[in-house]
Amino acid sequence: MIWEVFRQEKPGEYHTHCGNVHAPDADMAKLFAEVQHGRRKPTNSLWVVPQREVGEVDAEEATFGGSTDKSYRWAMTYNRVDESFAEEVADSQREQETADREREEVTSGGSA
C-alpha cells in the first residue's frame, strides 16, 4: 500500500507534500516516512495519508480560476488608487501579483 507524506518544517507552518512510501499499515507508514522524509530536512511533524484517500482534480478536467476575464477580482486592476498607504494592503497586492504571474507561467506552459 502507498502512503503520501506531508512534512511541516517548523511549528505553525503548513504541511507540504514531500513524497510517498510503501508500507503495510499506518504505523509502519509513519516509521518509514520518518526515516525517508524526516531524517535530514528540518521536520517538526509529518502527516501520512493512504494514497487512495487523496482526491484529485487537475487542470485536465478543471479550468482553475475560470475561463473568462476575472480581472475585477484582483487588487492590481484598481490601479487608479495606490496600495502603498497601508502596509497590509501593499502586502496583499504583492502576494496577488506573484500568484497572477505564476498562474500566467503555468497556463502558458512557461518556465515554471
Which residues contact other proteins (rule: CB under 8 A)?
A: 11-14, 70, 72-75, 77-78, 80-81, 83, 85-89, 91-93, 95-96, 99
One-letter amino acid for residue 3 of the chain: W
Nearer to other proteins, 22 or 73 (CB): 73
Q: To the nearest whole angstrom, how small is the minimum distance from the Cβ of residue 22 to other proteins?
A: 23
Distance CA 80, CA 78 (A): 6
In the complex, least distance from residue 60 CB atom to other proteins, rounded to whole angstroms: 25
SS3 4: strand
Q: Which is nearer to other proteins, 4 or 83 (CB)?
A: 83
CB 78 within 8 A of CB 93: no
Q: Which of 33, 26, 30, 38 is nearest to 1 (CA)?
A: 26
Closest approach of Cβ 100 to other proteins, in Å?
Answer: 11
